[in-house]
Amino acid sequence: MPETPITDWLEVRPQGLFVRPGGFFIDPVTAVDRAVVTHGHADHARPGHAHVLATPETLAIMRHRFAGDPAGAQALAYGQRLRVGDATVWLAPAGHVLGSAQVVVEHAGGRAVVSGDYKRRADPTCVPFEPVTAELFVTEATFALPVFRHPPVAGEIARLLRSLSLFAERAHVIGVYALGKCQRLIAELRRAGYDRPIFLHGALEGLCRLYEAHGVVLGPLQPVTAVERRALAGQIVLAPPSALADRWSRRLPDPLTAAASGWMRVRQRARQRGVELPLVISDHADWDELLATLDAVAAPEVWVTHGREEALIFAAQARGIRARALSLVGREEAEDGG
């Protein structure tokens, strides 16, 4: 049992979660003096902090996105322990994207785990999630409704390849988030034996190169601009979701619009976005996995952040867990990342 309750030293401030004995924020939404960052997505990694602690991969991603920033960066590999003020900090893999981590903070005999975003499925592009038992667990709730149960990825990839053979004259343009989903989809296609070049929107090229530099094999990639329009018929083209409905997609021959996201589970959502081929591939835990994680972490207290908190709190309380919603600024539903 901790000597002091964790709620006495882990605070919710307007900028984000603040670890008082260590004097640092976790994933603060505005620039602060000291920040620990779970992963490189824009709603977690912000520019302008004076000091940043994160995995080497996350720091590389931040440097890529923020042109050199952060200046005062300190890399901490998974499992490596670091004394910060009166607290001990270490990072455990979160399985969300390359370099994603749960922040484990120990102080006064107690342990809190702030998981950031996480998933439990195998992902060829990042280290799998590692459950860490704790007294307090902070969890995401992006897909925290029992209707969200992600199907096996292999089946979704098979649907994509089947469509590619049935509509061989149409460019299959898939909306993917630039960090994580893009590279995971490519890696899954390679795993399924797809060895043709995959065409990229310009906004995706940099992070693919970064992944490759970290040893993730993505196979032949080409910018869309490198080939003639006709040559894209029957090819796979990846683009940020915002580009699908934009004028950019007009350069493609008779595009068939696909999207890879956990949101694609719900038909109305997919149709609203004009998606013809929804692929349910998510980088977040689904309902069953969220509950299994609560069991594995075995924390008597859980704070639930960004997403459908209500259902997860209900289910956690039914398991005898003290659960409450944690309203953090700047964590609105970011659907592109699903």
The three-point CA angle 202-173-150 to 5° equals: 110
Residue placing its CB nearer to another protein in the complex, 213 or 245: 245
CB of 147 to another protein, least distance (A): 4
Q: Which residues, numbered 306-325, are part of the site for another protein (CB under 8 A)?
A: 308, 310-311, 314-315, 318
User: Applying CB under 8 A, does 268 fall inside the site for another protein?
Assistant: yes
Instruction: Give the one residue of 35, 94, 277, 316 binding another protein; rule: CB under 8 A.
Output: 277
User: Applying CB under 8 A, does 233 fall inside the site for another protein?
Assistant: no
Q: Tell me whether strands 136-141 and 301-307 are parallel, antiparallel or unpaired.
A: parallel
Residue type, 271: R
Helix (H, G, I), strand (E, B), or coil: what is residue 77? coil
Give the integer Cα–Cα distance in Å for 306 and 87: 26
User: Applying CB under 8 A, does 149 fall inside the site for another protein?
Assistant: yes
Sheet holding 101-107, edge to edge: 82-84, 87-93, 101-107, 110-114, 136-141, 301-307, 322-325
Instruction: Give the one residue of 270, 285, 297, 328 binding another protein; rule: CB under 8 A.
Output: 270
The three-point CA angle 169-171-173 to 5° equals: 155
CB of 168 to another protein, least distance (A): 11
Given its phi and psi angles, is residue 254 left (phi above 0), alpha (psi -120 to 50 degrees) or beta? Answer: left
CB of 177 to another protein, least distance (A): 19
User: Applying CB under 8 A, does 246 fall inside the site for another protein?
Assistant: yes
User: Applying CB under 8 A, does 247 fall inside the site for another protein?
Assistant: yes
Give the integer Cα–Cα distance in Å for 118 and 141: 10
CB of 104 to another protein, least distance (A): 30
Residue placing its CB nearer to another protein in the complex, 86 or 333: 333
User: Applying CB under 8 A, does 148 fall inside the site for another protein?
Assistant: yes
CB of 283 to another protein, least distance (A): 19
Q: Which of 246, 243, 248, 277 is nearest to 261 (CA)?
A: 277
User: Applying CB under 8 A, does 276 fall inside the site for another protein?
Assistant: yes
Q: Which of 263, 307, 261, 292 is nearest to 120 (CA)?
A: 292
Please report, as ranges, the residues that interact with another protein according to CB under 8 A: 145-149, 151, 159, 163, 166-167, 244-250, 254-255, 257, 265-268, 270-278, 308, 310-311, 314-315, 318
